[in-house]
Amino acid sequence: MTHPSTPSSTPLSPGQPQRAADGVPPLDVESALRAADEALALRLGTVTRQEIDARTGELRGHVVLLADAVLDHARTAAARSVRWEADQLLASTPRDGALVFGAYQHLRDLARMLRRLADSAAQHGGTA
């Protein structure tokens, strides 16, 4: 059974956070950290490629949100460096034909980046 979208939120794609009425997704650091921890707890050989891809999509959504919120006005060289790393990581998503290990490593890299961004967001009062 499907539920109609409410004006206050519209879903993006599966595994991504919802958008608020103004089109800006809410920033939820706790949810991002939980998603990162769950991804890092996965073990190769116990998950399918489809599950890896689904979790990768979820983590990408969190990384984009946190990178935009935390690093958009990066004034220090360290913050600009983290922004560059996040952009490079998001641009290097494995293609469909990539080996499962490559997709798994990318998932773990996203989770580690997400932890870094969530720590920065928490330090700057970005919890929702």
70-89: pLDDT as tens digits = 777 667 888 888 889 999 99
The pLDDT, as a whole number, for residue 19 is: 44
Q: What is the pLDDT of residue 21?
A: 41
Angle between helices 49-71 and 77-91 (to 10 degrees): 150
HEC profile for 66-91? HHHHHHCCCCCHHHHHHHHHHHHHHH
Domain boundaries, the chain: 29-123
Q: What percent of the chain has pLDDT over 70?
A: 74
Query: Taking the model in full, what pTM does it have?
Result: 0.74
Placement of tokens 């990384």 in the chain: 63
Find all residues with CB under 8 Å of 113, minimum gap 6, and list them. Answer: 63, 85, 86, 89
User: Is the pLDDT assigned to residue 12 strictly greater than 70?
Assistant: no
CB 113 within 8 A of CB 63: yes
Question: Is 17 in contact with 25 (CB distance < 8 Å)?
Answer: yes
Q: Does pLDDT of 110 surpass 50?
A: yes
pLDDT of residue 26: 62
* Residue 97: pLDDT over 80: yes
Mean pLDDT (the chain, rounded): 79
